Homo-oligomer: A and B are copies of this chain.
Amino acid sequence: MNTINLKFMKDPFYKNVQQQIKSQIISGQFTEGDLLPSENDLADKYKITRSTIRHALEELVKEGYISKRKGKGSIVSLPNRSLGIFRFRNLPGATDKLDPIKMIFIKKPQLGEWDDYFFFAISDEEKAAGCIYFKRICLLGDEPIMLEYTFIANLGIEALIDKPFLNNSVLDTLNAVYLIEITGLQQELKAISTDKPLSKIFNLKKGKPLIQIQQKFSTSKTNLFIYSRILYNTEKFNISNSLSL
């Protein structure tokens, strides 16, 4: 059974299933708190054994798309999907009601040249391809909390310029449009002082401390990387994350 010629399928079964379920979650067919079909049902549906289904689900657990409860099922969970992009948590004393988070473009996605002094070393191929970049701020209520610069080599991903982002996320958009997955992340943290231009953007006194995170995401598309530089104002809000093993 299932002797479909494996040589012509680049991906193993479990990756296919993983990708299909992930797409259904990203596109909203399953939302937070929903139960996936049981492992036995999924095995019937995809006509593979439960072990292989379990392998797929386990990958989704690693990526944070689902969690599991014995006797209950697989529970869809949206948060922490963004792989190391830290999320906010209110400081005690700060607004306790969860203000809506708004992402606003300061510079819309466009094609241009790479900076001469870019914060990560880029390849000649990336340099030649030119750079799709944009700049956004994140508002919590009316307060600017985060400033984000994103840079990606223009290696066959022009759709980023026209299409609106899925879930406000480049990563989700690349996944939905090109099936590009994130395979790794390298990031550097640093504390810096607010300078004059930043002080305007954050409405913050010069000299106040900020957190800077520079990230380089690796993707399943060879030689395609996503770079971002993020500045956080942590005066009123912490950056928090949690892991479980």
* Interface residue ranges, A against B (CB under 8 Å): 62-63, 83-84, 86, 89, 181-193, 207-211, 218, 232, 234, 238-245
Contact = CB atoms under 8 A, between A and B. Distances in A.
Nearest to A181: B245
A207 B207 contact: yes
Contacts of A238: 188-190
Nearest to A207: B207
Contacts of A232: 189, 191
Q: How many copies does the complex hold?
A: 2
A83 B89 CA distance: 21
Contact of A241 (B89, B187, B242, B245): B187
A242 to B, nearest CB: 4
A237 to B, nearest CB: 9
Given A209-B209, A209-B210, A211-B211, A190 B239 contact: yes
A83 B243 contact: yes
Contacts of A243: 83-84, 184-185
A86 B211 CA distance: 14
B86 A189 contact: yes
Given A182-B245, A185-B243, A191-B232, 18 more contacts: A62-B62, A62-B245, A63-B245, A184-B242, A186-B240, A189-B189, A189-B232, A189-B234, A189-B238, A189-B240, A190-B211, A190-B238, A191-B192, A191-B210, A191-B211, A193-B207, A207-B207, A211-B211
A118 to B, nearest CB: 12
19 contacts: A62-B245, A183-B244, A184-B243, A184-B244, A184-B245, A186-B241, A186-B242, A187-B240, A188-B239, A189-B189, A189-B232, A189-B240, A191-B191, A191-B192, A191-B209, A191-B210, A191-B234, A192-B209, A211-B211
